[in-house]
Structure formats: C-alpha cells, structure tokens
Amino acid sequence: MNRKKLNINPFHDWKLGKDYEPIKLLGRGSYGAVCSAVHKPTGTKVAIKKMDGVFEDEIDCKRILREVNLLRKLRHPYVIEIFDMLEPEDKENFDSVYIVLRLSESDLKKVIKSAIHLQIKHIQTVVYNLLCALKYLHSANVIHRDLKPANVLINEDCTV
C-alpha cells in the first residue's frame, strides 16, 4: 500500500513553524531529507533541507556548520543561497537543523535521464553557468568535493 492510501503524513516529524507549508518530499541523502515547500508570507517556493542527528558525529557536525557558514557568505547568481534557517523550538535541546533554500525546478541528473532533448545552446548555457559558479567558488578558496549531476540544480531556462 502506498502512503496516500494509509494517509501517512511524511512531514509529521518536521518542525517548520507557521511560515512554511511542506508540499512534497524531494529526496533523501546521507545528511537528511529535502522537501519542497511554500513560504506562506511571500508565496515563494522553497526547498527545505532537514538534517537530523547533527551532533551525533563531530566530523559531520563540522561539515554541516561549514556548509551553512559558506552558504551564508557566498553570493553569486549560479550558487544557491540560504533563504532562511529555522530556529529550533527548544534552543537548548535539539538535533535537527532546517536550511531553507530557493527551489530549483530540477537537477542535471534528472534532465540527463529524461526524454528532454537539449539543444546545443542549452548545453552551452548549463556548462557556462557551471564553470562560472566553479570559478567563483575557487576564487573564494572553496572546493565543492561532491560535484555530480544530481548536485547541479537547474531551472527551466537552463540557469544553474
């Protein structure tokens, strides 16, 4: 049976507060899960990255802190930026962190696997945007270390 027939809410343990309405679970990874949502006050479509057990492993905790710190500082049209971070309900005792990012329409892995035929101009746009982003990151002394098609977020107009 699927979740809809069982009426199970996939967001029952997500603490998003009153400003965000979760829409759809987009995926799970090694650090947690990502859902699409709407920022209710502005109607902005966002992606919320929920990272669980952030204090269980010191190395993972440092990676998450480094990611948040970098995303707060980096400003480039082709590098994702933090829209918001959700404050925990209990600031003294929490183990999940929620990072809110602007929602991209897809990722390069999905585009490559789809039946969509990209014209040479589209491919050039994606590659140019990606190279510009990497040049910016490298100029800031940042190395991505997990660059793969699934981590290249892309919009309908082929912007990265």
How many other CB atoms sit within 10 Å of the CB of residue 25? 15
Q: What share of the chain is helix, strand, coil (3-state, %, to 5)?
A: 30, 25, 45
**Catalytic residue chosen out of the listed positions 57, 84, 95, 146:** 146
**Dihedral sign (CA 139, 145, 147, 153):** negative
Structural contact between residues 37 and 20, judged by C-beta atoms closer than 8 angstroms: yes
Is 146 among the residues known to form the active site? yes
Structural contact between residues 143 and 133, judged by C-beta atoms closer than 8 angstroms: no
Structural contact between residues 86 and 17, judged by C-beta atoms closer than 8 angstroms: yes
Annotated catalytic residues are: 146
